[in-house]
Amino acid sequence: MDFLTPLGALIALLVVAPAAAFVLGERGRRRVNALLRFGEPSMGARVAPAVALVVIAALFGLAATQPTLVRRSQQHVRTDAEAWFVLDTSLSMKATSGPGSPTRFQRAQSLAIRLRNELGDVPVGVASITDRALPHLFPTPDSDTFDVTVRRAMGIERPPPTDGFSTRITTLGSIARVASDNFFAPTAQKRLVVVFTDGETKPFVDESLGTLFKAPPGVHAIFVRIWGAKERVYDGRRADPLYRPDPLSATYIQQLAATTGGISVDAGDFGDLVKAARKDLGHGPTQVLQKEQRRLELAPYLAGFAFLPLGFLLWRRNL
């Protein structure tokens, strides 16, 4: 348990004034009883108000310290390696085998989270790609933050591409930015980019990609193809007549893998994907990261309980 504001306990000293008033009142009561020859109340009846005052002061004083139950954990984090997961968010990733079935993008989200869990000690970032690559989360060892980013912050054409009038938006060659624009920390000597895409891209020929990805310390690339020949983009239950799956997508991905010195993997071969990612990242030094998660703040409950003895005092006053 942690106390966020320990000096708040000094508020309990405010009980001194009502306690002094209670003592003076008791003396006056005893004198009046003696003069009028009234019987003395029981010890419990006399002490109960004082006890109630002390309890109220103690509860409010303890609440003022903001006691918080905290769960602590340790995590070993690689200091020499980082990975970026790049998800294709173009409209073709909305394709699915039928209304109500998982879209390509939803399958990409699930694969990214599964692979992230397999690489537990490696900081992983998230980016999207349409006609440009945009970072959404820089490499972090926090899997919860990663999951929230992938599940809630990312979506089809979010953000929208710059060329909204083109029938084919994706430009996979724009992943060059991940290798060239300081996406990785300078300390990351082992670097990995995993691209989740259907491969339906504008044709590109850019030999400079190989130079960028192979420049020391080098960036390993894995391209995960999420595609189906019978998949369509649906608007409700109606298939979009303007969309047709591109059978050349596999060729485009293989060309891109060859250019960057990486490999291509089918979405169904998750075991091969994990092996390739672990091989590229290898092993390296780690540091222990202390993680704290605030679970429960007790101050509201303690302040609430203080109203019980306060209510007793008010009730007794009206007797």
Alpha-carbon gap, residue 171 to 209, rounded angstroms:
13
Helices (H) then strands (E): counts for the chain: 9, 11
Residue 195 within a domain: yes
Residue 290 within a domain: no
- Clarify whether residues 100 and 41 are in a common domain: no
10-residue stretch averages of pLDDT, the chain, 319 residues long? 67 62 63 60 62 75 77 84 96 93 97 96 95 93 94 89 57 85 94 95 74 92 95 91 90 91 95 96 89 70 76 66
Residue 159 preceded by cis peptide, ω within 30: yes
> What is the DSSP annotation of 119-155?
TTTS-EEEEEESSSEEEEEEEES-HHHHHHIIIII-B
Residue 37's pLDDT is what? 58
Judge contact between 82 and 284, C-beta under 8 A. no
Residue 165's pLDDT is what? 46
Residue 289 within a domain: no
- Clarify whether residues 108 and 64 are in a common domain: no
Residue 284's pLDDT is what? 94
Residue 172's pLDDT is what? 77
Task: Please give the backbone phi and psi of residue 131, each rounded to the nearest 5 degrees, phi first.
Answer: -100, 5
Alpha-carbon gap, residue 288 to 282, rounded angstroms:
19
Residue 150's pLDDT is what? 97
- Clarify whether residues 131 and 219 are in a common domain: yes
235: Cβ contacts below 8 Å, ≥ 6 apart: none
Entry pTM: 0.72
Q: Which domain holds residue 34?
A: 2-71+295-317
Residue 1's pLDDT is what? 65
- Clarify whether residues 29 and 134 are in a common domain: no
- Clarify whether residues 168 and 132 are in a common domain: yes
- Clarify whether residues 140 and 254 are in a common domain: yes
C-alpha distances out from residue 188 to 76, 83, 126, 191, 273, Å? 16, 9, 16, 6, 21
Counting Cα atoms < 13 Å in the Cβ hemisphere of 259 gives 18
Residue 272 within a domain: yes
Evaluate the CA torsion angle 86, 91, 94, 98 in order and state its sign: negative
- Clarify whether residues 154 and 208 are in a common domain: yes
Residue 10's pLDDT is what? 64
Question: Which of 96, 44, 53, 51 lies closest to 227 in space, CA to CA?
Answer: 96
- Clarify whether residues 8 and 92 are in a common domain: no
Residue 31's pLDDT is what? 67
Evaluate the CA torsion angle 132, 135, 141, 144 in order and state its sign: negative
The helix (run of H) or strand (run of E) holding residue 212 is: helix 208-214
237: Cβ contacts below 8 Å, ≥ 6 apart: 99
Task: Please give the backbone phi and psi of residue 173, each rounded to the nearest 5 degrees, phi first.
Answer: -65, -15
Coil, strand or helix at 85: strand
- Clarify whether residues 177 and 270 are in a common domain: yes
Residue 30's pLDDT is what? 63
The domain total for the chain is 2
Residue 170 per-residue DSSP state: -
Question: Which of 26, 248, 256 lies closest to 129 in space, CA to CA?
Answer: 256
- Clarify whether residues 309 and 193 are in a common domain: no
- Clarify whether residues 162 and 306 are in a common domain: no
CATH of residue 251's domain is: 3.40.50.410
Residue 265's pLDDT is what? 96
- Clarify whether residues 66 and 192 are in a common domain: no
Alpha-carbon gap, residue 145 to 151, rounded angstroms:
10
E-strand spans in 143-247?
Answer: 190-197, 219-225, 234-235, 238-239
Residue 8 within a domain: yes
Residue 167's pLDDT is what? 42
